[in-house]
Amino acid sequence: MPETLDDIMTRTSELLTDRDMAALSTLMAELSTTDAVRVLERVDSSRRAVLFRLLPKDEAVAVFERFDATVRGELFESLRSYDVIALFEELDPDDRVELLDELPSNVAHRLLVGLSPDERALTAPMLGYDRRSVGRRMSPEFVRLRTAATAGDALDAVRRTGSNAESVYLLPITDDHRTLLGVVTLADLATAAPSTPVGDLSSDHPVVEADSSAEEAARLCFEHRSPAVVVDSEQRLIGILTLEQSARILEEAEDEDAARAGGSEPLRRPYLSTPVLAIVRSRVVWLLVLALSAILTVQVLEIFEHALAAVVTLALFIPLLTGTGGNTGSQAATTVTRALALGDVRPRDIAAVLFREVRVGATMGAMLGTLGFVIAGLVYDWHLGVVIGTTLLSICTLAATVGGAMPLIAKKIGVDPAVFSTPFISTFCDATGLIVYFLIAKAVLGV
Amino acid sequence: MPETLDDIMTRTSELLTDRDMAALSTLMAELSTTDAVRVLERVDSSRRAVLFRLLPKDEAVAVFERFDATVRGELFESLRSYDVIALFEELDPDDRVELLDELPSNVAHRLLVGLSPDERALTAPMLGYDRRSVGRRMSPEFVRLRTAATAGDALDAVRRTGSNAESVYLLPITDDHRTLLGVVTLADLATAAPSTPVGDLSSDHPVVEADSSAEEAARLCFEHRSPAVVVDSEQRLIGILTLEQSARILEEAEDEDAARAGGSEPLRRPYLSTPVLAIVRSRVVWLLVLALSAILTVQVLEIFEHALAAVVTLALFIPLLTGTGGNTGSQAATTVTRALALGDVRPRDIAAVLFREVRVGATMGAMLGTLGFVIAGLVYDWHLGVVIGTTLLSICTLAATVGGAMPLIAKKIGVDPAVFSTPFISTFCDATGLIVYFLIAKAVLGV
């Protein structure tokens, strides 16, 4: 498969250079959706628009819906307005709403006005919800069942109206006022006797409010391994959050967490088609913040400059000690951030987490400290051994505790816990670790 | 919801202390599957066995299948053998196979022998595949269709035999020799006219071989937003990889990546119910490896000890410079690791990645270097400004390049790219950064 992709890329390039539109058109029509998405995400944006127009109509919509958000926005701006209007009408409402966020507001407004009344009626209410809420990501098209229906009736309803819905795997049961009474799955309908009332097939499924967090709702869906039913603040049914959409939401969240744990912002498009300056932009702010906060370490060392001048050997261990502190802190922070994301730990569990991390940090510090004492003692002298050993013990305990607490504090004050992971913790551990080191050194060596 | 969980936990504890089994039994029967999973994962393992036995039978299987792997293994060892045998028979084959990996081999063997012949016939072949392969994670129970069937026939088949299958959302079409001819979704069957031949409804779905990587197959499913069909090496149908199972596989992979990026191993169970020593074990090996490799920085600094003694001010910038190098390196590594995981970048793209990262690193280095030159120049003197500025430029360029290359090299030689992220890169950048720093300092300051 990967070999074929390279072949396709080469063939596409050649045909584009030769301007052989007939052959290109055949090639595009033969591609699977996945291959088409990969090829189009890898070419530059002017070529992308050319190739996209050559895709068969249905395929074009399917391919478009699989692009990363930024790629969708760019492509939309480079297509002719006639193609844009037609494509916009064909999109599922949730994809349409996501796309509007990527476009300049005048373009977004014009597109919305140009929609057919039916599609506009589905799309407009979703725009009233916050960008990170379930209301923006749900599918407002679904097949609704009445309590009186049987499994046979329900399957008939699916056959008649199901092809308009984005997903028919979860079917809500409501009364006439759209109040949710239950939920059945298509699998349960299909395996039941046709005369079974749908109420008897109703099963336990997650229900979320439209203005709650999309990421938390997506995690709930995954925990239940099921789509969720979306209701408004009066508990009236307004949509379905599909497993596919949940997967997309979680993928974006993982992208963001992974990027932030490494001290940058997510790219929101394939790496190789991201311009160098966009990559720089995603990283430079974090790097500057971290470098400027690292000036703190320079100031801490300045305070102890006379101790450093007296025993230059002390300088040799600075990277080792700050590095170990940073590593211990980021181990703790990563574990707790992940546990928070999975719902295993909540901010109120902070006392339990601190008690756990103090013991973990002290245990690892005792092991590393003993090793450091012996090595430094043998290579240099036993006084220095005591300094290095005690410093390692203190730094590990401190770093694990702070690293464990930070994500919980971040969550409590409403900041992304992943941000506090690796980079922030290591800056903090560097500065406090150095203070501990030199205080111990002054006490033991008397400098 | 979180409030209720605490209430449930408190009530459970009280009833357990009072040994009020009747009330406990009612409480357990009333819990939703998700709440039951949460409560049981939070209590200690002896209480877990007591509560688990009080669950209604069907519910017990559902709850068990949602536990983390380690919790499953522990619970199994603390249940009575009669319960164990009954539960093992009820599990889906993929859950059964996963559980066998957690158990001592004599227990695993005994359980396998005790299975009914039908279930053993489904389970045994899966054990022949590698632990990380699709063959271990697929569902071998599915509804198979013949080409001659219509949509109506297919729905009848689902109604008759579907309740034995783990999932009926994807239905493979085969000939008599189990050779795969196509795939239809339950949604397509349900929305089609009953007389439509299933062959006409067949759509493009991922097909994977049973011995290929489970993680890659799961990503493919997510990219296609569809389950995959699993075939053996002779392209005969043997199973289905469901979206639910794919979600589970990817969650484990993300756990592992997140943990390793922070320099530890995944816990494979909820944080708060993991013993302190198990957390220490998940981290201490990495911490030791990193601390021992950081001894390299001590040795590098020893080489330059006379320069340090001559200009003690040089020591002040050590944490700032090594920290910036580490941060730049881990930014690049995180981005490329994520791009690799998503299939946006492959090891053969190394030249393109290096060219990109050299430019990104140099751009950020130029910005930071200018800033460093001005600040150090103003506060100390302009010679030192030149040293700091040039060092920042060199370190950023070097770190971004190495950070970008490492995950690709790791992937090429078959090591987990996440391992090479943050911690390894920072150790590497620390040592080389220090060498660059002191070489520049010696040249400019003449020490």
pLDDT of residue B85: 84
Q: Smallest Cα–Cα separation from A140: which of A63, A230, A73?
A: A230
Map residue A275 onto helix, strand or coil: coil
Structure tokens at A441: 């050194």
- Cα B142 from Cα B178, distance rounded (Å): 13
Residues B187, A193: C-beta atoms closer than 8 Å = no
Q: Which residues of A are less than 8 Å from B308 in CB distance?
A: 312, 315
Structure tokens at B169: 């959302």
| Low-confidence spans in chain B with pLDDT less than 50 | 1-3
pLDDT of residue B267: 76
Q: In angstroms, what separates the C-alpha of B176 from chain A's closest C-alpha?
A: 24
- Cα A145 from Cα A182, distance rounded (Å): 9
Best interface-test mutation with B: which of A163, A401, A422, A430 has the largest number of B CBs within 10 A?
A: A422
Superfamily of domain A275-445: SLC41 divalent cation transporters, integral membrane domain (1.10.357.20)
Does residue B54 contact residue B24 with C-beta atoms inside 8 Å? yes
Whether B379 and chain A come into contact, CB under 8 Å, resolves to: no
Q: How is residue B420 annotated by DSSP?
A: I
Counting beta carbons within 10 angstroms of the beta carbon of residue A160, is it exposed (0 to 12), middle (13 to 18) or buried (19 or more)? exposed
Compare CB distances from B276 to A270, A279, A356 and report the shortest one's residue.
A356
pLDDT digits (tens, 9 = 90+) for B316-328: 999 999 989 988 9
Q: Smallest Cα–Cα separation from B421: which of A320, A334, A2, A276?
A: A334
**Closest residue in chain B to residue A434, using alpha carbons only:** B319
Compare CB distances from B297 to A282, A319, A343 and report the shortest one's residue.
A319
Cβ within 8 Å of B, A 80-139: none
Cβ within 8 Å of B, A 194-213: 204
3-state helix, strand, coil in chain B (%, to 5): 70, 5, 20
pLDDT of residue A49: 87
pLDDT of residue A221: 87
- Which residues are CB-neighbours of A144 under 8 A, at least 6 positions away? A171, A172, A173, A174, A178, A237
- CA torsion angle A57 A60 A62 A66 (round to 10): -170
pLDDT of residue A3: 46
**Residue range(s) of every CATH 1.10.357.20 domain in chain A:** 275-445
Compare CB distances from A287 to B298, B331, B339 and report the shortest one's residue.
B331
Q: Smallest Cα–Cα separation from A63: which of A93, A102, A28?
A: A28
**Residue range(s) of every CATH 3.10.580.10 domain in chain A:** 145-261
| Low-confidence spans in chain A with pLDDT less than 50 | 1-3
pLDDT of residue B3: 46
Best interface-test mutation with B: which of A335, A408, A429 has the largest number of B CBs within 10 A?
A: A335
What ipTM score was computed for the predicted complex, to two decimals? 0.75
- Cα A108 from Cα A113, distance rounded (Å): 9
Residue with the two structure tokens 């459970």: B12
Residues A279, B320: C-beta atoms closer than 8 Å = no
Whether B427 and chain A come into contact, CB under 8 Å, resolves to: yes
Q: In angstroms, what separates the C-alpha of A113 from chain B's closest C-alpha?
A: 31
Residue with the two structure tokens 């990817």: B250
pLDDT of residue B419: 64
- Cα A346 from Cα A349, distance rounded (Å): 5
Compare CB distances from A191 to B66, B168, B359 and report the shortest one's residue.
B168
Calculate the alpha carbon distances from B416 to A190, A330, A367, B129, B298 in Å.
Answer: 43, 19, 27, 21, 28
Does residue B2 contact residue A346 with C-beta atoms inside 8 Å? yes
Cβ within 8 Å of A, B 23-62: 32-34, 37-38, 41
Q: Does domain A2-127 correspond to CATH entry 2.60.40.420?
A: no
Compare CB distances from A34 to B168, B224, B396 and report the shortest one's residue.
B224
**Residue range(s) of every CATH 1.25.60.10 domain in chain B:** 2-127
CB atoms within 10 A of CB B384: 22
Q: Which residues of A are less than 8 Å from B280 in CB distance?
A: 360, 363-364
- Which residues are CB-neighbours of B188 under 8 A, at least 6 positions away? B201, B203
pLDDT digits (tens, 9 = 90+) for B175-185: 888 899 889 99
CATH topology of domain B145-261: CBS-domain (3.10.580)
